[in-house]
């Protein structure tokens, strides 16, 4: 059943929730997206086991279709309460970790880029999230994965940590408080080059938050506020 309909230029598309029966189509989109990437490390594809776990009542995945062809998807995951839990990286108390969902993989087929489909699917999948069960959204992004970083900041997510995850891979940890009703006020601002890991980590440990990114003199900077 369609939960959203729109246009990609002159091409109509629809969005529906995905299920176990869509796994082969999901894997094909993953393969096509990775094949088109210059830096293959930017996208960490979900394995068959991970897809089965997510689609087996441990998350929500929505897919964009042109006709019967899956062209994009986006997922939210209910994560296990393990040592790698992003809520711990964000400084959340142990008793609220179960109320954290992850923004997981997002992929758009190369043929359909440039229409804002990733952002559209972000809005749709967030509408499918059970707000009675979850208060926080977390995600990780590799530094210099510019498209994914822009996506997270556009959703109002903030950098809360920059650390080694997943067996030694440097990642920004993002979080958004879904219950935050008023915009938080800040008194101090600092801009740091994205390549300067140490300075960013020092700011984050002191309670600063990364709120946006900007390009200056061909260098990407992250703006931190406190």
Q: What is the pLDDT of residues 163-203, one digit of tens each?
A: 999 889 999 999 999 998 777 889 999 999 999 999 999 99
Q: Are residues 204 and 108 in the same domain?
A: no
Q: Are residues 168 and 197 in the same domain?
A: no
pLDDT at residue 214 in the model: 96
**Average pLDDT score over residue span 26-51:** 88
Which CATH number belongs to the domain containing residue 151 in this structure?
A: 3.40.630.30
- The DSSP string of 181-221 is -SPPP-S-EEEEETT-HHHHHHHHHTT-EEEEEEEETTEEE
Q: Are residues 195 and 176 in the same domain?
A: no
Q: Are residues 213 and 101 in the same domain?
A: no
pLDDT over 80 (residue 43): no
**Average pLDDT score over residue span 71-87:** 94
Q: What is the pLDDT of residues 116-153, one digit of tens each?
A: 999 999 999 999 999 999 999 999 999 999 989 999 99
Q: Are residues 148 and 191 in the same domain?
A: no
Q: Are residues 151 and 203 in the same domain?
A: no
Q: What is the pLDDT of residues 86-126, one digit of tens each?
A: 999 999 999 999 999 999 989 999 999 999 999 999 999 99
Overall number of domains in the chain: 2
Across-strand partners of 19? none
Q: Are residues 67 and 122 in the same domain?
A: yes
Q: Are residues 131 and 209 in the same domain?
A: no
Q: What is the pLDDT of residues 54-68, one digit of tens each?
A: 999 899 999 999 999
Domain that holds residue 190: 185-226
Q: Are residues 118 and 203 in the same domain?
A: no
Q: Are residues 209 and 175 in the same domain?
A: no
Element (H, E) at 164: strand 158-165
pLDDT at residue 76 in the model: 96
- Report the C-alpha gap between 79 and 99 in whole angstroms: 10
- Report the C-alpha gap between 151 and 185 in whole angstroms: 22
Tell which residue, 69, 84, 76, has the closest CA to residue 12. Answer: 69
Residue-level length of the chain:
226
- The DSSP string of 24-66 is HHHHHHHHHHHHT-SSGGG--PPPHHHHHHHHTTSEEEEEEEE
Q: How many Cβ atoms sit within 10 Å of the Cβ of residue 89?
A: 20
Q: Are residues 46 and 75 in the same domain?
A: yes
pTM for the full predicted model = 0.92
Q: Are residues 147 and 214 in the same domain?
A: no
Element (H, E) at 150: helix 146-154
Question: What's the mean pLDDT when you consider all of the chain?
Answer: 94
- The DSSP string of 75-108 is EEE-----TT-HHHHTT--GGGGGGEEEEEEEEE
Tell which residue, 141, 122, 109, 162, has the closest CA to residue 41. Answer: 141
């Amino acid at each position: 059943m369609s939960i959203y309909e729109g246009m990609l230029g002159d091409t109509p598309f629809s969005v529906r929730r995905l299920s176990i029966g869509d796994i082969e189509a999901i894997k094909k989109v993953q393969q096509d997206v990775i094949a088109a990437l210059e830096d293959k490390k930017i996208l960490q594809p979900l394995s068959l086991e991970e897809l089965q776990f997510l689609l087996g009542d441990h998350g929500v995945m929505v897919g964009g279709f042109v006709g019967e062809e899956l062209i994009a998807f986006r997922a939210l995951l209910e994560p296990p309460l393990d040592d790698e839990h992003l809520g711990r990286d964000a400084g959340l108390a142990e008793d609220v970790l179960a109320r954290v969902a992850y923004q997981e993989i997002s992929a758009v087929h190369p043929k359909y880029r440039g229409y804002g489909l990733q952002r559209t699917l972000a809005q749709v999948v967030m509408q499918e999230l059970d707000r009675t069960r979850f208060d926080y959204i977390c995600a990780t992004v590799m530094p210099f994965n510019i498209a994914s970083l822009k996506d997270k900041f556009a959703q109002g997510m903030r950098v809360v940590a920059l650390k080694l995850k997943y067996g030694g891979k440097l990642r920004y940890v993002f979080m958004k408080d879904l219950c935050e009703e008023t915009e938080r006020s800040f008194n101090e601002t600092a801009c740091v080059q994205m390549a300067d890991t140490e300075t960013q980590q020092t700011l984050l440990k002191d309670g600063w938050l990364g709120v946006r990114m900007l390009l200056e003199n061909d260098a990407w900077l992250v703006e931190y506020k406190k």
